[in-house]
Structure 1
Amino acid sequence: MARTRPVQAASLVFACVVAVWPNGSVLAKEPAPAATSEARENPDPHASDPAGHIVVKGRRWGQAEIAAESVIDENAIDSFSATTIGELLDRMASLIDSRGQSPELLVNGKRITNPAELKDYPKEALARIAVLPKTAAAVYGFEPEKRVVNLELKRKFASWQIQSEVEMPTAGGRRNATLRMGRFIIDGDTRWNIGANVADETELLRSERQVPVQPAAQTLLDALGAGGAGIDPNRYESLFPRSNAQGFNASVTHPVGAFSASANFSAGRRESAQTIGMPVAIVQAPAGEDYGLLAAEEALENRQRSESISTGLSLSGPVEGWQTSLGFRYSVNWAKSARDVGYDVTPLQQRIDDGAEWPLGADQWGNLPLLTDRLASTSEVYNLSLTASRPVADLPAGPMRTSVSLNANRFLTNSSYFDADANQWSGSRSSRYQFDGLVSLSLPVASRGAGVLDEIGDLTATMSGAFRKVTKAKTNYRLSGALDWSPASFVNLRTAYSRENVEPGYEQLFGPRMEIVNRVFDFRRDEYVQVLYRFGGNPDLAGGTAQNLSADLSLMPFGPGSVMFNLGYRRSVTNGGISSLPDLTPVVEAAFPDRIIRDPSGKLVLVDARAIRIASERSQRLTTGLSFRWTEKPPALPSEAEEVSPAFAPWTVTASLTHQWSLQSQTQIRPELAIIDRLEGGGQARHRADFQLNVGRKGLGASASASWNGPAYVLGAGGAIYRYWPSTMFNLGGFIEPGSIFGADGQKKWIDALKLSVDIQNLFDSRKVIESPGRPDGFSRDELDPLGRTIRFTINTSF
């Protein structure tokens, strides 16, 4: 035995050298041909080994090549009130990843070009969800930090789905209605779907909430003099815009020999409009005072419209032992916006200055031209992608796997801008290429199952290298590596490190200009305001270097899929490079006087929120998580000959509790400027906790969730302190399928396909509490959160 271990270690080193040696791949073991779906689900009962035991070869239908870390079965899936696969994944995020990040998706064990096409499928199309181990990202060519789940679909499924949804705040004033309809078919390796949706959302005006009139609106009202009597300025400004949207999508996947071909198409359109002020035209009277008149009945508006089309083709299958996927995708987006900025009173003011009779009569104002700033852009993206993965060597501890992912993109952008004050159009065109790639290697070092260095448990090393190149910009390179160690079956420790030279991507450099109205708190004027935010490319960006270190510990003391404890640490250090504009605080405004624009009266009018260059950025955080899943066992049977009744629907309970502790969050814009500490005066809480509970079975279920944010504060001008007290928000939901609960005669009825759901956000109508030196009476409930408690009713049926 003493000699066995050195021999195994030597063979491991020799196999690694052979695998990376030129032409060494000729020694790589070819994967066995996959069993047909029929053989997997209906194995030959006469197949046996020399000892006479029955041998079932091949993987289960839809299973991935890598064994799952945990499996979420159909009973657990049925216990959630989610309707679609996408909604289900959102609700189960904390069970999949303690950080709550969206996972990468496989479908029936394979990577596909556009996994988003499955997110609209009904959750009933799933047989199970397999959460793969953390090493799966490297095996399938995803970013190293991503979790991967495999969606195992049922072999046969067909359904029409119709869903209607209405959401509104209990305080009234706003309503959001959505209608979705789709047809979904799965027939073995063939699947297709077609769907459409429409949505409509009404506007919420300031006059529908108890909020004070803003100083800028009061100035306009004062200019109206006696004509402003009885006018409520809040009626001309909205807290949330009205909008409507329509969408259509279709996709099909079908076998072509040993390959699988897919095609998809989607189109969408969205419009929104937000009232942004009273339609007041102001001139200067001969005595020098401002004099105004309502120039129209309708308020000034900010209007947005976007239309998009996207289509793609892909082909995936085995090529010389590689599992490959080749895809092409084209998308185009047309976006337009128009923002009313006021009325042109220049000719009228000239008449007054020339001595026109004063005061002017209403008929003398005439029809003043409305000044409107306009933006228009067309963005096209052509994408060609290739992914390939396979085992490249059969090592003593298991197969060494590699994956390659390559993308080539062409971006075409044409944008134009009309400045109403200058009465001038300007525009720009951009045509750029972006190439990026990722190469990953998964190397098993020790394995208990294979008897290789089993005294240390299971140990796997993964390495990856990535690049991104944008024309007329420097190339971004990243190298990373990770070790996954399981000294026992219920313990996993993963450590990862990456280093890269950070360079901006296409959108950061050349993205089209966009402008939207955001609601933010202005610390200088001690009020919430509607401000124009500008986004788009910044060609002045420059790169830097970044280092990331992470460590994650997972404990499953009662086996997979029961109780799991997670502990994670992340550290990021960036020197030079790129960052998003920090949240607006007095310190940020002082650091970016050219990005924060105010009018002569001090009113905040524009925030240029494009990406910025920074000197350094540092962050550290610690995350902990506890998750639990339990499913009721079938009742004990008096005889082995009896079977569990198919009507038995077990109860499933899932729960998770996560906590995030921010240890450091600092940015230094330029060496000569002070460090912006988000945790010390920057408004970021050090602690956040989230809880989620779901109890259900097929046909009936309820869920509860809560989020808690710790205290924070912002340093204002002159040493003033704005304190954000701890806040907690609770949510509650539930669903019922009457046919599953009350149906008993066995005959299918329309009620059997009916599902009713209700979700209440912010159950207790709670709000944040801000202690402000300038507002001893505090901020009203509607100023902090105009929506408050909302309730959503959903009706879903299938046939």
Structure 2
Amino acid sequence: MTTSPARLASASILAALTLAAPLRAQTAAPDPAPAEQPGNAAPTGGDTDAVEEEVIVVNGARERGTVLGDIPPEVAFRAADIRAIGAGSIADLLNELAPQVRSGRGRGGEQPVVLLNGRRIAGFAEIRKLPPEALLRVEVLPEEVALKYGYAADQRVVNFVLRERFRAVTGEIDVGGPTGGDRQNYEIEANWLRIRDGKRLSIEAEVTRDTALFESDRDIRTGTPRRPFDLVGNISTPVPGGEIDPALSALAGAAVTVAGVPAGAATAAPTLSGFVPSANAANVTDITPFRTLLPDNRALSLAGSYGTSVFGDIAATFSGGLTATRTESRVGLPGVTLALPAGSPFSPFANDVGVFRYGPDALVQANDSWTGRAGLALNGTVARWQWTLTGNYNHAESDTLTDRGIDVTAAQARILAGDPALNPYGPAALDGALLRDRARTNTDIGDLQVVASGTMLPVPAGSLTASIKAGAQTLALRSDSTRAGIDRLTELSRTQGNFQGSFDLPLTSRRNDVLAAIGDLSANFNIAIDRLSDFGTLTTTGYGLNWKPSSALTLIASVTNQQGAPTIQQLGNPQLLTPNVRVFDFLTGTTADISRIDGGNPNLVADSRRVFKLGATFKPFDTRDVALTANYNKSRIDNPIAGFPTATAELEAAFPERFVRDAGGTLLSIDNRPVNFARSDREELRWGLTFSQPLKASAAELAAAAARRAAFEARRNAAGGAPGGPGAAGGAAGAGAGRPPGDRPGGGRPGGGGGRGGLDGRFQLSLFHTWHLTERILIRDGGPVLDLLNGSATGSGGGQPRHEIELRAGVGKSGLGARLGLNWQSATEVLADPSGATVAPGDLRFSGLTTLNLRLFADLGQRPELVKRASWLRGSRISLAINNLTDARLNVRDRSGTVPIGYQRDLVDPIGRTVTLSLRKLFF
């Protein structure tokens, strides 16, 4: 038996973390669960008089808002850490934490599970626009924690813990665009938030606008069209390539296969000699002003949530929102071919010919959509059980109109009849109705889930705990489309009942002195059953071990077997044809403008997934915030669902019915609707570190802070304030006694958590490396295997990079901060024959890519010298973000070193470097 170097490296990294733990355990005592008590504190978040509350740790207690179970966070951020990131909203903060919250266990693209104060919520939309100043801490936890809240173990968990008291109105304006110009991005958002006495009220609004970017705004080369269309027109044979007229060839001195229409032909019938100057020199129209690289986008959203207590001690949250969007693209000019008979008064030719013209106006694809949502979350406690009920209803409507050409049927009939009043070179010949396809979709989704977690019975090492979830969901989709005059109607519905149970059994315990030398070891078993009206019964089973041999090290091993049905949208979305989509044809090594068909596929079947994970988290120091993590994931999916926008030889051989070519082999269309592949195998090792280091305040800064604290205490005492006490946990907010800092009579400023009023700065670093060991797809049983790491691809962006690195670094102190993000991926290649037996000119190499993002910000309210001169600066922040600092793009070349037309720099990434200026203000 042989061991590959990759797997040996995986084992070495995990083993290194395991063996390092005893070294720290020799000096480190077991970690008690910390708890935080608010002390006498002043407000923060833009208030220069603020001094944050100190964190007091009480041994043996649990912090408010802690998640269920015994799995500790991989990384946690306190208020000072959050402030140092300088995010404008919880959504922005989650985006900044992307490397830490990524999971390799799902099918791809899953977002993390989001909790609020350690409880389930109706959905992330409920809190996404809340200001980070309202947060006490943020915790990132492994996928296994998701089981304790009724979710599948294929998403990481992020727990946001709110302050007990907060009140502010937040406004932000963002203006930016690419440094290459010609596109602007605007965003205006506002949020009003109040948290007090166990109640939370939030109202928010957001408006965004991204202007269109056209191909003419960038340096785009266009290829020769398959047919010689032009705004003025060209003459060719009905099937281009033949001789137009021997007499014209004689006048030109060579066989003429194409000739440009003379400029005056629109007002008078041209002569044969009038075509001599343009013989074999077709008129050419620059179509780049009629094609968008990026569409015009507009969006408006309104949302709100209200949390309170009902029936005494049940925390209830009601939320809802509306979002309307419009997207509009230009997809080129409509090509029109008019048959011109030899006897026409407008034809000087002896043979029948074709007139190839472009319509004068660009084809448009426009989508109007809106969504509405309503959510409910109830959280309570019965005996030793914590329960949550969540309900959601979502309605969505989408209407897409796609222009596909001009109807010249009537004009063609008149030309064939020899009508002298209709000039085929004039505007009247193209004055037909616009041919337009339409696709409309209405979707309704209702969901109700009940989750209960608690202790079932005592065992020697602790207690057997369980999380039980039961729920139901109903989905309905109605789609109708009109394509090429043919109407199609699809109506689908699905009802689903589900049950999930997750059980945690402690096997050893240091605290209870059960095999204490081993450490803390617990086992998990979980099962889920989903009954779908259209797919029958689907099951999920899983099991795993959670081992903490010392206070420094946590090890997790788990196995999941899961069946999953396609979404109702994948089954029933309406067919949508988009013309003039530029793709690279790997079979011929050329770029083609095709018609792409999107929509649903009613023949999809459920997939079946098996995932094995081995993870380790190592925190080597008691006094330094350093965490090392490593996760090895191996998964196999039978019948995975995917689309394929790339015309590779392997895909076309497996699905020939999805590709249409003309007699000459030119690619005309791709049916991009999803299909089931036979199997996919994925294996990866992801490891990295997070580090946070306080930057101590100077003596002068501490003295100034002490003076501000004294002044604040005097003002608070004069107002009759008193320190707040600890409150109860809950989805809305904790309810505490007294008037805590940050909520004075008449409106207060937000309370703090940890640090010295913003004086203690932070240096933060996170670095993660993902090593893709296996990435293979079996297209069909008995068919070829796509090795995405070695020459195969299912997308237009190349294969799967074997290595990826994500770096985030930031520093913030005294209101000034900087954040740097780096993303790097290794090179890939796409080969016509991945086996290497033959070399094709269409083989492509995709370069590695490094992108740098830089954001500078100044919390002006934390600069006492500024606020003293201009008090209105309190709570203000100005930020400058530069994304893709070096304007890096993928460099794609074929065997000859040439950049294919479809992979030009500005087609691969039309945006490049962008600069955004943000102005943000908190009104307390």
The aligned residue for residue 439 of structure 1 is: 501
User: 2:912 is matched by which residue type in structure 1?
Assistant: G
Residue 466 of structure 1 pairs with residue 514 of structure 2: no
User: 1:285 is matched by which residue type in structure 2?
Assistant: L
Residue 668 of structure 1 pairs with residue 786 of structure 2: no
**Which piece of structure 1 moves more, 62-71 or 625-634?**
62-71
The aligned residue for residue 270 of structure 2 is: none
User: 1:146 is matched by which residue type in structure 2?
Assistant: Q
**Which piece of structure 1 moves more, 311-320 or 248-257?**
311-320
Share of identical aligned residues, percent? 27
Match of 1:242 among 296, 316, 341: 296
Residue 424 of structure 1 pairs with residue 429 of structure 2: no
Distance, in Å, in 1 between the alignment partners of 2:403 and 2:679 is 39
Structure 1 residues 82, 583: CA separation in 2 closer, same or farther (over 3 Å shift)? farther
Q: 1:646-665: per-residue Cα shift (whole Å, max 9, x none)? A: 55511211112211111111
The aligned residue for residue 617 of structure 1 is: 680
User: 1:375 is matched by which residue type in structure 2?
Assistant: A
The aligned residue for residue 109 of structure 1 is: 118
Match of 2:657 among 583, 594, 602: 594
The aligned residue for residue 299 of structure 1 is: 362
Stretches of structure 2 that go unaligned for 5 or more consecutive residues are 1-34, 41-56, 235-259, 264-281, 342-350, 710-755, 793-798
The aligned residue for residue 817 of structure 2 is: 701
Determine if contact 1:269/1:306 at 8 Å carries over to the other structure: yes
Structure 1 residues 182, 528: CA separation in 2 closer, same or farther (over 3 Å shift)? farther
Distance, in Å, in 2 between the alignment partners of 1:747 and 1:401 is 58
The aligned residue for residue 322 of structure 2 is: 267
Give the deviation of 1:579 after TM superposition. Answer: 4.2
Match of 1:398 among 462, 479, 490: 462
Residue 85 of structure 1 pairs with residue 93 of structure 2: no
Determine if contact 2:220/2:907 at 8 Å carries over to the other structure: yes
Determine if contact 1:492/1:554 at 8 Å carries over to the other structure: yes
Distance, in Å, in 2 between the alignment partners of 1:218 and 1:650 is 68
Structure 1 residues 175, 577: CA separation in 2 closer, same or farther (over 3 Å shift)? closer
Structure 1 residues 482, 694: CA separation in 2 closer, same or farther (over 3 Å shift)? same
**Which piece of structure 1 moves more, 557-566 or 358-367?**
358-367
Determine if contact 2:584/2:646 at 8 Å carries over to the other structure: no
The aligned residue for residue 649 of structure 1 is: 759
- After superposition, residues 35-50 of structure 1 pair within 5 angstroms as none
User: 1:670 is matched by which residue type in structure 2?
Assistant: R
Q: 1:475-518: per-residue Cα shift (whole Å, max 9, x none)? A: 21111011111212111221111223454443433455566687
Distance, in Å, in 2 between the alignment partners of 1:203 and 1:351 is 39
Match of 2:65 among 62, 77, 92: 62
Match of 1:562 among 595, 606, 625: 625
Higher relative contact order (CA 8 A, sep 6+): 2
Residue 788 of structure 1 pairs with residue 852 of structure 2: no
Structure 1 residues 732, 103: CA separation in 2 closer, same or farther (over 3 Å shift)? same
Match of 2:560 among 498, 501, 523: 498
The aligned residue for residue 134 of structure 2 is: 125
Give the deviation of 1:57 after TM superposition. Answer: 9.1
**Which piece of structure 1 moves more, 646-655 or 376-385?**
646-655
Distance, in Å, in 2 between the alignment partners of 1:528 and 1:451 is 69
Determine if contact 1:756/1:794 at 8 Å carries over to the other structure: yes
Distance, in Å, in 1 between the alignment partners of 2:120 and 2:141 is 13
Give the deviation of 1:150 after TM superposition. Answer: 2.5
Give the deviation of 1:41 after TM superposition. Answer: 5.7
Give the deviation of 1:59 after TM superposition. Answer: 4.7
Determine if contact 1:164/1:178 at 8 Å carries over to the other structure: yes
Determine if contact 2:556/2:616 at 8 Å carries over to the other structure: yes
Match of 2:309 among 252, 255, 262: 255
- After superposition, residues 165-204 of structure 1 pair within 5 angstroms as 165-204=174-213
The aligned residue for residue 30 of structure 1 is: none
Give the deviation of 1:264 after TM superposition. Answer: 1.2
Give the deviation of 1:241 after TM superposition. Answer: 0.8
Q: 1:673-694: per-residue Cα shift (whole Å, max 9, x none)? A: 2111111111222111121111
Give the deviation of 1:154 after TM superposition. Answer: 1.1
Residue 389 of structure 1 pairs with residue 425 of structure 2: no
Distance, in Å, in 2 between the alignment partners of 1:745 and 1:758 is 21
Let me know the Cα RMSD of the aligned residues: 3.2
Structure 1 residues 539, 280: CA separation in 2 closer, same or farther (over 3 Å shift)? closer
The aligned residue for residue 278 of structure 1 is: 333
The aligned residue for residue 849 of structure 2 is: 727
Give the deviation of 1:607 after TM superposition. Answer: 3.5
Give the deviation of 1:698 after TM superposition. Answer: 5.2
Q: Give secondary structure in 2 for the equivalent of 1:589.
A: helix
Determine if contact 1:502/1:578 at 8 Å carries over to the other structure: no
Q: TM-score, normalised by structure 1?
A: 0.86
- After superposition, residues 328-347 of structure 1 pair within 5 angstroms as 328-347=391-410
Instruction: Select the structure that is richer in strand.
Output: 1
Stretches of structure 1 that go unaligned for 5 or more consecutive residues are 1-36, 44-53
Aligned length: 748
User: 2:549 is matched by which residue type in structure 1?
Assistant: P
**Which piece of structure 1 moves more, 780-789 or 602-611?**
602-611
Distance, in Å, in 2 between the alignment partners of 1:204 and 1:669 is 37
Structure 1 residues 120, 790: CA separation in 2 closer, same or farther (over 3 Å shift)? same
Give the deviation of 1:319 after TM superposition. Answer: 3.5
Q: TM-score, normalised by structure 2?
A: 0.75
Q: Give secondary structure in 2 for the equivalent of 1:487.
A: strand
The aligned residue for residue 376 of structure 1 is: 440
The aligned residue for residue 205 of structure 1 is: 214
Distance, in Å, in 1 between the alignment partners of 2:588 and 2:178 is 29
Distance, in Å, in 2 between the alignment partners of 1:546 and 1:745 is 57
Give the deviation of 1:542 after TM superposition. Answer: 2.7
Q: Give secondary structure in 2 for the equivalent of 1:212.
A: coil
Structure 1 residues 418, 546: CA separation in 2 closer, same or farther (over 3 Å shift)? same
- After superposition, residues 518-529 of structure 1 pair within 5 angstroms as 520-524=583-587, 526=589
Distance, in Å, in 2 between the alignment partners of 1:458 and 1:759 is 45
Distance, in Å, in 1 between the alignment partners of 2:692 and 2:116 is 24
Structure 1 residues 370, 505: CA separation in 2 closer, same or farther (over 3 Å shift)? closer
Determine if contact 2:439/2:574 at 8 Å carries over to the other structure: no
Distance, in Å, in 2 between the alignment partners of 1:505 and 1:658 is 32
Residue 680 of structure 1 pairs with residue 683 of structure 2: no
Determine if contact 1:327/1:385 at 8 Å carries over to the other structure: yes
Residue 219 of structure 1 pairs with residue 335 of structure 2: no
Determine if contact 2:229/2:357 at 8 Å carries over to the other structure: no
User: 2:855 is matched by which residue type in structure 1?
Assistant: G
Distance, in Å, in 1 between the alignment partners of 2:204 and 2:885 is 33
User: 2:82 is matched by which residue type in structure 1?
Assistant: I
Match of 1:290 among 341, 354, 357: 354
Distance, in Å, in 1 between the alignment partners of 2:497 and 2:870 is 54
Q: Give secondary structure in 2 for the equivalent of 1:215.
A: coil
Q: Give secondary structure in 1 for the equivalent of 2:650.
A: helix
User: 1:360 is matched by which residue type in structure 2?
Assistant: P
Structure 1 residues 303, 190: CA separation in 2 closer, same or farther (over 3 Å shift)? same
The aligned residue for residue 252 of structure 2 is: none
Distance, in Å, in 1 between the alignment partners of 2:623 and 2:614 is 20
Distance, in Å, in 2 between the alignment partners of 1:726 and 1:466 is 41
Determine if contact 2:855/2:880 at 8 Å carries over to the other structure: yes
**Which piece of structure 1 moves more, 98-107 or 729-738?**
98-107
Structure 1 residues 288, 791: CA separation in 2 closer, same or farther (over 3 Å shift)? farther
Determine if contact 1:245/1:268 at 8 Å carries over to the other structure: yes
Distance, in Å, in 1 between the alignment partners of 2:857 and 2:135 is 19
Structure 1 residues 708, 561: CA separation in 2 closer, same or farther (over 3 Å shift)? same
Distance, in Å, in 2 between the alignment partners of 1:614 and 1:767 is 31
User: 1:147 is matched by which residue type in structure 2?
Assistant: R
Determine if contact 1:135/1:442 at 8 Å carries over to the other structure: no
Q: Give secondary structure in 1 for the equivalent of 2:307.
A: strand
Give the deviation of 1:217 after TM superposition. Answer: 7.9
Distance, in Å, in 2 between the alignment partners of 1:566 and 1:108 is 24
Give the deviation of 1:577 after TM superposition. Answer: 5.2
Distance, in Å, in 2 between the alignment partners of 1:239 and 1:55 is 58
Determine if contact 1:106/1:148 at 8 Å carries over to the other structure: yes
Give the deviation of 1:746 after TM superposition. Answer: 5.4
Distance, in Å, in 1 between the alignment partners of 2:706 and 2:881 is 37
